[in-house]
Chains A and B, each alone.
Chain A
Amino acid sequence: EVQLVESGGGLVQPGGSLRLSCAASRVTVSSNHMSWVRQAPGKGLEWVSVIHSGGNTYYADSVKGRFTISRDNSKNTLYLQMNNLRAEDTALYYCVKSGPEPPGYEYWGQGTLVTVSS
């Protein structure tokens, strides 16, 4: 069974930084598209970023220039470096296996909570 386990969330002050990690089992991070999706409390889903199997990266406008997605193939782990955090970044962050086949967000972790507050 595929497992995606996120870690690294927590309470951080506005302007601060956090790095989220997603340890993958039974799925190879480097061979798949991997994404981060977030969900603010009581709100809907918001796509944040994707790293394609070929290494190309893409970001939502709301995080561009502040967040960086990366992966460590040797550790089979996905990362999200989040800098200059804002209150509106407060959310549950999900790591997702997001393709290329099927073309859908097929496997989700349980999420890690990021709270940005002074």
Chain B
Amino acid sequence: AAGVIQSPRHLIKEKRETATLKCYPIPRHDTVYWYQQGPGQDPQFLISFYEKMQSDKGSIPDRFSAQQFSDYHSELNMSSLELGDSALYFCASSLRRGGGYTFGSGTRLTVV
């Protein structure tokens, strides 16, 4: 069965550069979520989209933005990267009403 696809799997960027992470949710799932997980930390909610509209926003820096496109894939754009942005970034999708989330394998971003 198709899972949530994230790309790239690994990304190395320098400080002040820009990164774009992509997520392809499970077909027919109506909600997409982005989470950031630092080493040894729990996943922290960044932002979500329901039917291509932003539905909730968490502790996402102003340097980050995200959108969901007409084909339901989502992109997380990160600008002016800082060393502290190094983390695993997960995308997840679900049906909005009372279901578990399906997570992608994540993108490991390293800022040097």
Instruction: Decide whether A and B assemble into one complex.
Output: no
